[in-house]
Structure formats: C-alpha cells, structure tokens
Structure 1
Amino acid sequence: MHLEEWERVNKSIGSGLLGHSLDGNKMRKILSLSYNDLPFHLKTCLLSLSKYPEDQLIRKDVLVWSWIAEGFIKHEETQGPAWKSLLEIAESYFNDLINRSLIQPAQSHAPSEQDGQVHYCQVHDMVLELINHLSAEEGFVTVLSEDGQQAGTLTSAMQKRKIRRLSLHYNSTGSYGASPEAEKEQLSKVRSLDIFGKVTLIPPLSIFGVLRVLQVDDCSGLDNHHLNDLGKLRLLRFLRLHDLKIVKLPKSIGELESLETLDIRKQVSMLRPRRMVLPVSFAKLRKLVRLLANGVELPNGLTLKNMTSLREIVGIQVTLHAVTELGKLGELKVLGLYVPRPNESSSDRGWYVTSLMMEHGMRLPPSVNEWIVKCLQLCPSLQIFILEAPHFCRYPVDLMAQFPSGLRTFICHGGYFEKAFPKWTKPQLSYLTVLHLSLHTVCVLPEHLEQLAELPSLCFLMINSVSQPYMQETLSSSSGFPCLTYLHLWSPKLFLKFQQGAMPKLQKLRLTFSPKFTFDEYNVFDYGLENLPSLRHVIIQLMGSGRTIMEMDDAIRKAVNDHPNHPSLDLLTKI
C-alpha cells in the first residue's frame, strides 16, 4: 500500500484512537484495549518499539529486519528462499500495526526513497508511554535514558533479572548518565543492544556473547578501537552502524558468521566524502543478505563469488573490479551504484581528471559508462536499480535499453540524460512501477510521453529537467498511464494540460516550476486538473518571488478548489 493510502487509513482509523477530543485517561484505556486485542506476534513487535526515544523517526527496513534477526518472525511454509518469506511476513506485521494506528507512517525526503511507499514510521507519544510501561513490567526491553533512569516503573526484583534487550539513550555529551548497574552476568543474555544519541563510548562488546541485533544510531564520535571486539559477536545477525567516520571497516567483521544485514549508511553531505573500504575478510560473510552503504569501495582481492546469499547491495562505488564481482551474484535483486566525486577518488580510479569538476557538461568517462552497462547485463535478476552520481555527469541515451526485463524500480539521483530522451524497447519494461529521470537540455515532447504512457505497470513517475519545458501540447486520453498514481515534474518552465482519461488513477500531483518563465509565456494556469478523476493531493512549489508568484498563487488555488474531489493543496515557495 502506498503512503497516500496509509495516510487516509490512518486518519479514518486513528481519529477515535488518538484524536485530541478524548482526555488522557480515556485514550490510555482505549490504547490498552487495543493492545490487549493484538495477537501475540504483534504484541511482541509493538513492545520492541519501546527501545526508541520519543519522536524518533524509525526506518521501516531497519525495524522489520531487526524483528527477523531477533526471531520475532516465524517462518511459514511458502515457496522461495526463507529470508524472502520472513521479510514478507515481517512487512505484513508492520502494515497491521499501521492499520491499527499503533504506529504512524512518516514521510521520507531521501531522493532514493521518493517512490510513494512507506519507508519510515513514528510512535505516538501515548502509545510509547503505554508500551514503555508494559515493556518494563515484563522485562522485555531495558531502557537507560540520558539521566541514568530506566523507562517505566520497575521493582527492585525486576531490575535484578537478566536483561534481554538493552537500549541506551545518550545525551549531548556522549554518555548515558550513570553506568548500568547490571553485572556481567546480567548482560550475558542480551540479545539486542540499541544505542541512540551521539556516541563517544560504548559498552565492551565482548560482554554480549549472544547478541543478535546491534544498532548504533550515531557513530560519528566513534573510532576504530571502539569496534575492536566486533568479531566476537558470532551470533550477530543485524548490524547497523550509522554515520561511521572511519574509512575502513575492521578485519574482524569477517568473523560475524551469522550476519544477515550490514547497514553502514551515513548522513550524506557534499562536504563529507563518503568513501569507506571493505576489508578482504568481508568475503567470509556467507549468510549476508543485505549490504547498505553510501559509497563503499570493493578493494582488489575481495571476491563476492561465495557470498551466494546476497540479494541487496546499495551504495557500492563503480569500479571495474566491483562490476566484475557483482556479476557473480546471479540472484541479486537490489543494486545501488555510486559514482564518486573527484575528491573521493583513489589511485585505482585514474579516470577522474580535474576537468570533471566542470559544472556544465562532462560526460562520464567511457569506461565508467561501460562498467555500468556491463553490470546491468551481468545482473539479470535485478528488480530495483538505483544510480547515484555527481550532478554534472552524463548518462548514455541507451542506458535504459540495458535494463533487465524484470526491473521494477529505476531511480536516477544526480547525473542526467542529455541531448536525447532515454530509449528502450517497447515490451522491455513491462514490470517497471517506479521511474525517476533526470534530464538536462532535453525537452519532453508528446511522443516521449506516449512512450512512457505505454509502460503498463508504471505507478510513480518523477522527471527533473534543468532548462526546457516539459511539453507544449496536451496529454490526451490515448496517452494512457493506466496505473500511474503519483506524478512529479520539475522544471523552470513547465506547461502541460491533462485531457479527460489521460491519467485515470493519478492521486498525487507535484509540480515544481518558475512562475516567471511559465506564466509570462502562457499567461494562464490551466493544467486541466478537473480531468484527473482520482486526484487527492496537489503539491505546487513555485521558484522565485514577486508579483507573478501572487498571481499564480490565486490561479492555482482556484483550480484546486474547483476540482470535484476538493484535493488537499500544499503551496510552497522556494526563493
């Protein structure tokens, strides 16, 4: 289910559950009844959320894979690999909790996650209060806050129990107040350790002999020595080290023989190089299913041929060696390639030259384009392909013609197609549901839209253009787009007009443009919104300022108000 649908479900179901019309005691009673009505497996998953701080934005994939790692998700007899069926079950539990308004979907602003799906959630304050109390009562999660106090009300007898799940909430100084009063024996059975807040020290990892889940939410204050004992966590299945600054993972990571998820994503910044090098011992992680990063480098000597469980690799730097090794993973489903900026290059990427820094128009060196194409050809099972590059890099016009026939998602973040609209063969992308395109001097003509409209499964379309108008003619009913529910167009000059039947299922329309360029030429805001029968939400972002903005503002509000569905309107201004 898409985020728009979740929001409507959440409003309808949650109006009585979390509405402001009820006093606190009545809300708590309703929430308690809702919790008691849950099946056992959902109670377990919900209680696990008590480890998070208040108002924490929680990644869906982090949550569901940690459930799997802890054994909350039981395997059902289904076809396909065990991890796949477990993931489907875990996601259904996540959906159930949203349907019951016990967790709330949250928006993602990451370009690679603009696909209409739910990627984040949050826990309402009153729900968190309830599960904190229940969790403390049952000894499910032990939370140490920044003042050294435990969340919930615990008796001294409960505090003496062995801790199964430990969550440390650090303060701004990088400490969590008083050290845990638990002895080594009390921590010896900890299965999950989660640390939130900026960390400058962590408990000795050698204590946690049966740990399944380790999540450190902000590693920017950690150095290599903090991870010295990482290899001793032989039962670890889920490892998330967010925002690590170190440039090479320790060799001991290869000793994590049970590891299924390695998440080393960072906060992305133009001022911070993303480069991180995997050790050769990484190849020993035979059970690894997912590697998530923002620009990890595969060094020469590291081979992936024995890592047959790998299904998802995101954020791997494009090199000839990396492409060759990726081609050995015949069952790879998700791939994110990263073309590094010049200041991130190392000696084995001599194709970067100073002129590549030119802001206006440097093609990717032929070797890099060839490597990307080769990678696509060697990975026939790909379903999701994410390509990230500096914004001045150009892609070959026939790149999409190399896509595997089963591809469902293509997200192009940074870089652009130039001089011609991307080409592909007609039946090739029949399963494609999500498409992001970045263009430069390419004008999107009616024939290009007709080509896109023939993609039978396309649900989410986003097109960015730097300087040219998208189209100068109307979208006719023959244009199709039978499944499209989300359309986002970005261009300084933008004009289009929907005719009846053009996009029968479109629910969310987002347009970003400059009124000065658009209004001065066309002198009207008449995009034919009334011909979009399923429209529910309109987002208009106007670039610039002045009188034209005000005139366009009035025209937009009138067009949206006149729509028979009375869709919601977000009208934004970007100077």
Structure 2
Amino acid sequence: MKKFYQSRKEFVPMDISELDEITVITKLRDYLNGKSYIVMFDDVWNKHFWGHIKNALPDENGKSGRIVITTRLVDVANSCKISSSLVHIHHLQLLSPKTAWKLFCNKVFQSEPKGHCPTHLDKLSHELVEKCQGLPLAIVAIAGLLSTKNNTTSEWRKLLTSLSSELERTSIKEILSLSYSDLPYHLKSCFLYFGIFPEDYSVRYGRLIRQWIAEGFVNSTKDKSLEDVAEEYLVELINRSLVQVFEVDFDGKAKCYRIHDLLREIILDKMEDISFCHVLPGSNFQGITRRMSIVNSSHYVITGHTPEISHGEILNPLLRTVITNFKLLKILDFEDAPNLDHLPEGIGSLYHLKYLSVRGTRVGLLPKSIENLENLETLDLKESFVFELPVGIKRLCKLRHLLAYHSNEKEVYHINSQKGFKVFNRGIGWLKAMQKLYFIEANVVGVDIFEELSNLTELRKLGMKKLRSADGRKLCNCLQKMNQLESLDVASVSEDEMLDLESISSPPQNLQRLYLKGLLRKLPEWITRLEYLVRIRIYWSKLEDDPLKALKNLPSLLELGINWDGYYGEKLQFEEGAFPKLKVLRLWNLSRLCLLVMEDGTLCNLEEFDIGPTPQLKEVTGFQHLRNIKEVYFDEMPTNFLMLQNFQSLQCSRANICFSYIIDGERWRYGLEEVTKLQENMRGQ
C-alpha cells in the first residue's frame, strides 16, 4: 500500500503500518477499484503467492489492471495458471545471436562511435558472445570485465583464455564469480558488503559509503575526502555491471543501489567462505564472524558469545550481547528496528564504534556514556525522537556526520514540520571534522550557536531551524568561512519571521543545493553568483519581484521550486533563453499568481513541470515551447483555470499529463482527455 501511495506522489496515511491484514486487503481493493494499473512482483519463490495476493485485487482486474510476476520456478508459474484462467505464462527465451551481439556492443563499446566494435576486436568479441549462449546476465558480466581492460588483442585474448573453461560449463554463477575474482583487492570487501542487506534491498548512497568508511575499506588520499574516494569505488562497481543504480536524483546522481539476486547468491557464498558476515536467518557456518546482519529482526533473538537463533524478543538481548561480547565493534546499525526505544548506558564501552544509527526507531534519549565513543564518525538519529544531545557530545572529535531531525507528518506543509536538535552547552564547535550537520536549532538560550558553527569550516552540508531575524548577520559570517559547503537548508522560526541573508559578500562557491524557508521579500544578490548551484527551493519568502529575472542565467541550475507563497506577485515570466539546463520546475501554493508566461526558447530542457493549488491562476501560456517535457502535473487547479486554459499544445506532446483533485477525502487523478471533455461540458453550460 505504501508503494502505491508513494509512486503516485500521494500522502501515506500515518496508521497504515498498524492495520491488520484484512483491513489492508479491503483498503487495497478499494484503492485499485476502477483504476488502470500495472503491478509487478519480481522473483517470486512461493508457489502459494498468487493464491494469497489475488484476494487483495479488485474482481475486475482483468479489465482495468495487469499483474506481472517474474519467477525462476516453473511450479510458481504453474500454480498461478491453475489459480486463474486469466493468467498467461511467458517463458523467457535466450537471446538471438543478433540481439546478443547488440547487447554486448552497447555495454562494451559505449565510447566508440555509434557503439561499433573495433575491427581488430571483432573476431574475439564474436567468440565471447557465442560462448555466452544467449544468456543476458553472462553477457553483461563479461562486458563489465572487459570494461576494465585495454582494447588490445593480446589483453582480450588473455581474458578469453581464462574465461573459456568457465564459459563451457554454462553455469551463470561461475561466470559471475569471475567478475568478483577480477576485482582489485580494495573493491572486493566493498562488493561483499552488499550481502549484509536483504534480498532486493535498495541501499541509500550515504548509508553505504559511511559504513564502508567506518569499516576501513576506503583508502585516504591527500587531495580527496574519504567520501569522494568511496563514490569512485561505487562508480567502478557500477561500470563493471556488478552494482545496479536503483534510484536516480534530479541531477542524475544515484540515490540508491542494489545488486542482482544471482550476484547476491555469489556474495553469500563468498561471505561464508571467508567468515565475512553472519546473516540471520539463513547462514549455516559456525565459529568466528566479523559481522552480523539480522533480517526481519523482530522475530529473532541473539544470545551468547556465538549467536544462536530462537523466536521471541530480540532488542534487549541483542544489546546486552553486543555490549558484553563485541568490544571491537565498528558499526551498529539499528535503522527501522521495531520497538527499539532506548540505548543502554553500557554502549559507551564500545570504544572502537565508528557508525551508530537509530534512524527510524523510537529512541528518545542518548545515554551520557555516548561521550566515550571517541572514534565515532557517524551518528544518525534521523526520524528518531532524540531532540537534545548530551553535553559530552563535544568529545567526539572524529564525528563527521550528525543527522538528528524528525518529520511531523501531520504538519507536512508547515515551516516547522521538521524538528531539529538542541545543543544546551558550548562544544559543538570542537567537532572540526564535521561534514554534515542536519538540523540544528538556533533558538537556544545561553549558547552562541553561531560562534560554535564558525569553527566548522569543513562542513559540506548544513541544516538550521528556528532562525530569527537577528541571527542573519551572524549566520552570514559563518557561511563565508565554509568554503567546502555544498548544501544549505535554513528555516526561520515562523513563516512571518525575516530570514536575513543579505550580508554575504563572499558566498561558498561550491554550493550546489539551497533551501530557503522564511520571509525574504527580496532575493539575496549573492545567489546569482553561484555557478555550481543545481537546485534552489524557496518557501514562504513572499518575494515581491519576479525571482526568475535573477535566477534565469544560473549556468548549472537543474531544479527550481517556488512554494507556499515563495513569490507574492501576480505574474511569472520565463524569458527567451532563460534557464537553459533546467529539468524540474515546481510552483506550489502561490496564492496571488494569476498568469504564467513561457516564451519561445525558454526552458528548452525542461522534463517535469508541477504546479499546485494556485487559486487565482487563470492561464499558462507557452506550453508548446516545452519541447522536451515528459511530465506535467496539475494539483487542485481552480475552475477558472480549467475554463480558460488552452490544452491543445499539450495534446500534441508525448508528455504524461495528470490532473489531481481531492474529492470527499480521497485523491483522484485524471488524464488530459478526461479533463478536456470536462472543459467542453463546462464551456457548453
């Protein structure tokens, strides 16, 4: 249910995780009823799966919905067929020689003109493709190997010779194992680390590289941060076709990663061979293990020096076991652990701990002993209930990432929808290795938080809440010292409190992402000098002048958001040649906006345009100039807009057009054809 809401950009009900199975089935049937949809269930192993899931689908799903199930087991496919006469089984065939050759060339020769195979490698390439016998994954795996080799005949022949014996076995796992064997030493542990996470799990970028760094997998260099080196490792694994990018951000950067199921099987075998990690449940090996991963942890308990599994509660026994027996522990990741509401005082004895996360748990207080974790590099408290840090936090001089904020889903559209953390004593300025600090609250009596922040000159990401007008100059002085800053997110204490950012004379030149939440009236001049800015979002700023004039020539800008009366005027005009690289435009809740004009030659690379409740808007002109548009999303648009707007230019585009309205508490979505008919009826009346 959550994924349905999220995929359609809808608000996820807060109580959805607490519903019983019957209620979820009923709600799911109601949600899908009358809608057109496609749902895919990937890599199903349980032959009773279809019998369970079909009850949650509307009776008319054969008319308006399609279900796709992929499986490696014939029994699963046959059981689906038996359960319903509407089921069609499609057996995937091996690739034809022509298709296999095309896939190979696309993967290996991306840098060659038109992806063509060089003449001197043609014969060897055809031999390799032939030996793969049409197996797509084998072709991709070998392509990943070849991508690291020089395009010389001798280099390729050497690889072909070493591959031949494995290829002739036609075992895809053996072929994929060669990709692991070919990895340089520093990448092998990084690759195996994906086995710690559950099957089909998408791992966030930040979580992954911070744990790699904590493990000591990442080699430091003089001119690059550890995070930058870790990112290079990830890119190399992707280029070798061992890691898949699962989710991409607006600027093309990967947000989440995952691995193919077969590769995970290889990883699990390797982990067992070298005692890399003990995965519970499912791991059979005994003896010493360096790491432990618990999947579905609410059903298992760990006790004793050598972990054993039994049903029952896990968290308290696990914490006792960790503190008592795992003194060399470097990483303790409790993200989304159910029912975890505290950390024991004894956690301070884990002197070697470098990564501690209670993200998404019910933990509300950090023990005083946290100050003993002098090697801690990452403290992730996001979406927990920790809002105050112990005085001794200042002793954690190696801390690089401190994330501590909680989102209030009931106030999602309020300036204080996210609550940060408070520091009641001096000392945060001692943490000079800090690179990410999100969100620290400014309104603390007795502590000059800005004097402290001025010492954190290595910061790359800074988030601040509850700023007052009088804080503006002090904040600006801090920002001018943060030459490494890449992301800044600042919010005033209320929507009517002035956010004074005018006095920056030398802004951080590496700033890429900027979020301004509070009253500005006028856009600070220094923003126009940010050459590397890729995203800017403005909220509650009530800008009096059209901000597009100031922002239109930012050379790297990819996303622009003006929301919740970020602009307080009646007209926005995108001029010819403006915003040459912009891909995403969001205009939400601009209460005074009446007219939006897009001239020919503007927004030439725009792909996504979202416009939300704008009660005064009567017309948007220039849709025909958006030649690369892919998605247009209208939310709660007024009746006058539907009456007056000409949608003809949108009808000629290939964009996905969606109109969204909340009717009787439920969100409904309509396509352009339905809205055009409604428009005709309204005009006829």
- TM-score, normalised relative to structure 1: 0.70
CA offsets per residue over residues 392-413 of structure 1, 9 Å max, x none?
A: 3544364585772425134327
Superposition pairs of residues 59-208 of structure 1, within 5 angstroms: 59-76=204-221, 78-79=222-223, 84=225, 86-107=226-247, 117-145=253-281, 149-150=282-283, 154=284, 159-171=285-297, 174-176=298-300, 179=302, 184=305, 186=306, 199=315, 201-204=317-320, 205-208=323-326
Q: Per the alignment, do residues 210 and 368 of structure 1 end up closer, same or farther by CA in structure 2, a change over 3 Å counting?
A: same
Q: Per the alignment, do residues 556 and 144 of structure 1 end up closer, same or farther by CA in structure 2, a change over 3 Å counting?
A: farther
**Counterpart in 1 of 2:653?**
560
Superposition CA RMSD, Å: 4.0
1:529 and 1:559 in contact (8 A); partners too: no
Which residue, 389, 398, 422 being the options, matches 1:287?
Answer: 398
1:140 and 1:165 in contact (8 A); partners too: yes
Letter in 2 for 1:538: E
CA distance in structure 2 between the aligned counterparts of 1:198 and 1:501, rounded to whole angstroms: 61
Which residue, 315, 324, 339 being the options, matches 2:451?
Answer: 324
CA distance in structure 2 between the aligned counterparts of 1:333 and 1:433, rounded to whole angstroms: 15
CA offsets per residue over residues 350-372 of structure 1, 9 Å max, x none?
A: xxxxxxxxxxxxxx754455664
Larger radius of gyration: 2
CA distance in structure 1 between the aligned counterparts of 2:613 and 2:171, rounded to whole angstroms: 49
Q: CA deviation at 1:239?
A: 1.6
CA distance in structure 2 between the aligned counterparts of 1:125 and 1:141, rounded to whole angstroms: 18
CA distance in structure 2 between the aligned counterparts of 1:399 and 1:275, rounded to whole angstroms: 33
1:286 and 1:307 in contact (8 A); partners too: yes
**Counterpart in 2 of 1:42?**
187
CA distance in structure 2 between the aligned counterparts of 1:551 and 1:107, rounded to whole angstroms: 38
Letter in 1 for 2:330: R
Q: CA deviation at 1:67?
A: 0.6
Letter in 2 for 1:490: W
When structure 1 is superposed on structure 2, of 214-223 and 385-394 the one drifting more is: 385-394
Letter in 1 for 2:290: R
CA distance in structure 1 between the aligned counterparts of 2:610 and 2:594, rounded to whole angstroms: 8
CA offsets per residue over residues 40-81 of structure 1, 9 Å max, x none?
A: 3333212111111234342211101111111111234x326x
**Counterpart in 1 of 2:530?**
429
CA offsets per residue over residues 178-236 of structure 1, 9 Å max, x none?
A: x36xx52x58xxxxxxxxx9956524223111111111112562344x43221111111
| 2:675 paired with 1:573 | no
Which residue, 369, 376, 384 being the options, matches 1:252?
Answer: 369
CA offsets per residue over residues 150-176 of structure 1, 9 Å max, x none?
A: 2xxx4xxxx2331011111234xx341
Superposition pairs of residues 439-518 of structure 1, within 5 angstroms: 439=540, 441-442=542-543, 445=546, 448-466=547-565, 472=571, 474-479=573-578, 481-491=579-589, 496-504=596-604, 506=605, 508-514=607-613, 518=617
CA distance in structure 2 between the aligned counterparts of 1:92 and 1:265, rounded to whole angstroms: 26
| 2:421 paired with 1:296 | yes
1:494 and 1:513 in contact (8 A); partners too: no
| 2:441 paired with 1:312 | no
1:335 and 1:386 in contact (8 A); partners too: yes
- TM-score, normalised relative to structure 2: 0.60
2:522 and 2:545 in contact (8 A); partners too: yes
Which residue, 352, 362, 367 being the options, matches 1:235?
Answer: 352
Q: Per the alignment, do residues 547 and 517 of structure 1 end up closer, same or farther by CA in structure 2, a change over 3 Å counting?
A: closer
Q: CA deviation at 1:330?
A: 3.2
2:198 and 2:295 in contact (8 A); partners too: yes
Q: Per the alignment, do residues 35 and 549 of structure 1 end up closer, same or farther by CA in structure 2, a change over 3 Å counting?
A: farther
Q: CA deviation at 1:29?
A: 6.2
1:327 and 1:375 in contact (8 A); partners too: yes
When structure 1 is superposed on structure 2, of 29-38 and 465-474 the one drifting more is: 465-474
1:249 and 1:276 in contact (8 A); partners too: no
Letter in 2 for 1:317: E
Q: Per the alignment, do residues 231 and 514 of structure 1 end up closer, same or farther by CA in structure 2, a change over 3 Å counting?
A: closer
CA distance in structure 1 between the aligned counterparts of 2:503 and 2:564, rounded to whole angstroms: 18
**Counterpart in 1 of 2:680?**
none
Kindly report structure 1 stretches of 4+ aligned residues shifted beyond 6 Å: 467-471, 545-554
**Counterpart in 2 of 1:214?**
332
Q: Per the alignment, do residues 104 and 381 of structure 1 end up closer, same or farther by CA in structure 2, a change over 3 Å counting?
A: closer
1 or 2 for the larger relative contact order (CA 8 Å, sep ≥6)? 1
CA distance in structure 1 between the aligned counterparts of 2:639 and 2:262, rounded to whole angstroms: 44
When structure 1 is superposed on structure 2, of 127-136 and 487-496 the one drifting more is: 487-496
Superposition pairs of residues 12-51 of structure 1, within 5 angstroms: 16-17=136-137, 28=173, 31-51=176-196
Letter in 2 for 1:123: I
Q: Per the alignment, do residues 392 and 304 of structure 1 end up closer, same or farther by CA in structure 2, a change over 3 Å counting?
A: closer
CA distance in structure 1 between the aligned counterparts of 2:334 and 2:291, rounded to whole angstroms: 14
Q: Per the alignment, do residues 128 and 499 of structure 1 end up closer, same or farther by CA in structure 2, a change over 3 Å counting?
A: farther
Q: Per the alignment, do residues 371 and 517 of structure 1 end up closer, same or farther by CA in structure 2, a change over 3 Å counting?
A: same
Give the SS at the match of 2:439: strand
Q: Per the alignment, do residues 308 and 258 of structure 1 end up closer, same or farther by CA in structure 2, a change over 3 Å counting?
A: same
When structure 1 is superposed on structure 2, of 161-170 and 201-210 the one drifting more is: 201-210
CA distance in structure 1 between the aligned counterparts of 2:543 and 2:567, rounded to whole angstroms: 7
Gaps of 5+ in 2: 1-102, 109-134, 140-169, 308-312, 406-419, 663-685
1:214 and 1:238 in contact (8 A); partners too: yes
2:616 and 2:638 in contact (8 A); partners too: no
Give the SS at the match of 2:427: coil
| 2:198 paired with 1:58 | no
1:199 and 1:218 in contact (8 A); partners too: no
Q: CA deviation at 1:501?
A: 4.1
Which residue, 405, 412, 416 being the options, matches 2:518?
Answer: 416
Give the aligned length.
477
1:525 and 1:556 in contact (8 A); partners too: no
Give the SS at the match of 2:536: strand
CA offsets per residue over residues 432-462 of structure 1, 9 Å max, x none?
A: 33211124644663xx312102323333322
Q: CA deviation at 1:425?
A: 3.9
Q: Per the alignment, do residues 439 and 32 of structure 1 end up closer, same or farther by CA in structure 2, a change over 3 Å counting?
A: same
Q: Per the alignment, do residues 380 and 308 of structure 1 end up closer, same or farther by CA in structure 2, a change over 3 Å counting?
A: same
Which residue, 377, 383, 406 being the options, matches 2:486?
Answer: 383
1:73 and 1:90 in contact (8 A); partners too: yes
| 2:652 paired with 1:528 | no
Q: Per the alignment, do residues 444 and 254 of structure 1 end up closer, same or farther by CA in structure 2, a change over 3 Å counting?
A: same
1:298 and 1:321 in contact (8 A); partners too: no
1:437 and 1:463 in contact (8 A); partners too: yes
CA distance in structure 2 between the aligned counterparts of 1:438 and 1:366, rounded to whole angstroms: 16
Q: Per the alignment, do residues 501 and 26 of structure 1 end up closer, same or farther by CA in structure 2, a change over 3 Å counting?
A: farther
Q: CA deviation at 1:573?
A: 2.4
CA offsets per residue over residues 73-129 of structure 1, 9 Å max, x none?
A: 1234x326xxx1x22121112223334443333448xxxx87653332233444433
Q: Per the alignment, do residues 32 and 543 of structure 1 end up closer, same or farther by CA in structure 2, a change over 3 Å counting?
A: farther
Give the SS at the match of 1:277: coil
Superposition pairs of residues 335-414 of structure 1, within 5 angstroms: 335-339=462-466, 365-367=468-470, 369=472, 372-373=475-476, 375-376=478-479, 379=482, 381-388=484-491, 392-396=495-499, 398-399=501-502, 401=504, 404-412=507-515
